Amino acid sequence: MSSMQDLQARVAAVLALAPVVPVLVIDELKDAVPLARALVAGGLPAIEVTLRTPVALDAVRAIAAEVEGAAVGVGSVRKPSDFTDALKAGATFAVSPGSAPGLIAAARDIDLPWLPGVATASEAMALFEHGYTQLKFFPAESIGGATALKAIGGPLPELRFCATGGIGAHNAHEYLALKNVPCVGGSWVAPAAAVKAGDWGKVEALAREAVALRG
Range 65-79 average pLDDT = 98
- What's the rounded Cα separation, in Å, for the pair 77 and 43? 25
Domain definitions of the chain by residue range: 4-208
Is residue 173 predicted with pLDDT exceeding 70? yes
DSSP single-letter state for residue 20: E
Rounded to whole angstroms, what are the CA distances from 58 to 28, 54, 119, 170, 182? 10, 8, 30, 32, 29
Is residue 103 predicted with pLDDT exceeding 90? yes
pLDDT digit string, tens, across residues 120-131: 999 999 999 999
Residue 214 binned pLDDT confidence (cut-offs 50, 70, 90) = confident
- How far is Cα of residue 87 from the mean position of the Cα atoms in its chain? 16
Is residue 213 predicted with pLDDT exceeding 90? yes
Residue 215 binned pLDDT confidence (cut-offs 50, 70, 90) = low
Contact 160, 14 (CB under 8 A): no
As annotated, the active-site residues are 48, 136
* Per-residue pLDDT at 4: 94
Residue 1 binned pLDDT confidence (cut-offs 50, 70, 90) = confident
* Distance in angstroms between the alpha carbons of the first and the last residue of the chain: 38
Which of 148, 84, 156 shows the shortest CA–CA distance to 124? Answer: 156
Strand pairing partners for 94? 74, 114
Q: Residue 172, class by beta-carbon neighbours within 10 Å (0-12 exposed, 13-18 middle, 19+ buried)?
A: buried
The mean predicted confidence, pLDDT, of the chain is 97
Fold of 4-208: TIM Barrel (3.20.20)
Is residue 71 predicted with pLDDT exceeding 90? yes
Maximum CA extent, the chain? 47
pLDDT digit string, tens, across residues 143-164: 999 999 999 999 999 999 999 9
DSSP-assigned letters across all residues of 62-100: HHHHH-TT-EEEEE---SHHHHHHHHHHT-SEEE-SS--
pLDDT digit string, tens, across residues 7-42: 999 999 999 999 999 999 999 999 999 999 999 999
- C-alpha angle with apex 132: 144 to 11, nearest 5 degrees? 90
